[in-house]
Amino acid sequence: MKKTFKIILVIIFFVIIICILYFNFYRKYIFAVNLNWNLNLPFEDKAVYVESLPPSFLGDGPRYAILKYASKSKIKKLNSIPWISNKNIVIEDEVSKILSKLEIDDKYMIPFNQEYLYYHCIDKDDKRNHIYMFYFINEGLIYVVEEFW
């Protein structure tokens, strides 16, 4: 009887540890971004804003997030992304069209009137899938826009 009780306690302990790890690491928004786009971004310090349409059966649709990075080591790791420094009106228009599908308060819109670095990637398996990231260095913010079909 005591042995069975100890086994149950050990199992409960491991389940609790797994839940804690899951909720501390894998629930972070950037985990899904890294997984979907084969990136190696550091976990965000804070998700300022996250919005998406209710996913369809296949999980498609637009996703939008504003991620805050304050840690110097995380910011340094962000420099490994091949950011592009020139403003791109075509990219801004594409992103604006995607964001128009979501109901986003104006205060959470991407401030395209400010200086930013951007990254754009197209899914090699489905050319309709895109990720756009806009990095505002002074604020430590990354705006992530994804569209899946």
Beta bridge partners of 47: 67
Of residues 36 and 65, more confidently modeled: 65
Whole-angstrom distance, CA of residue 40 vs CA of residue 22 = 18
Report pLDDT for 135: 93
Q: Check residue 25 and give its pLDDT.
A: 46
Distance of CA 133 to the CA centre of its chain: 9
Q: What count of residues does the chain have? A: 149
Strands across the sheet with 141-148, in order? Answer: 46-52, 61-68, 141-148, 130-136, 117-122
Q: Are 86 and 126 within 8 A, CB to CB?
A: no
Kindly report, residue by residue over 20-54, the tens digit of the pLDDT.
555 554 456 777 788 888 888 887 777 888 887 66
Which of residues 67 and 31 earns the better pLDDT score? 67
Q: CA separation (Å) from 126 to 5, 121, 123, 132?
A: 51, 11, 5, 15
pLDDT tens sequence across 100-141: 888 888 899 999 999 999 999 998 888 888 999 999 988 889
Please name which of 23, 32, 28 lies closest in space to residue 59, comparing C-alpha atoms.
Answer: 32
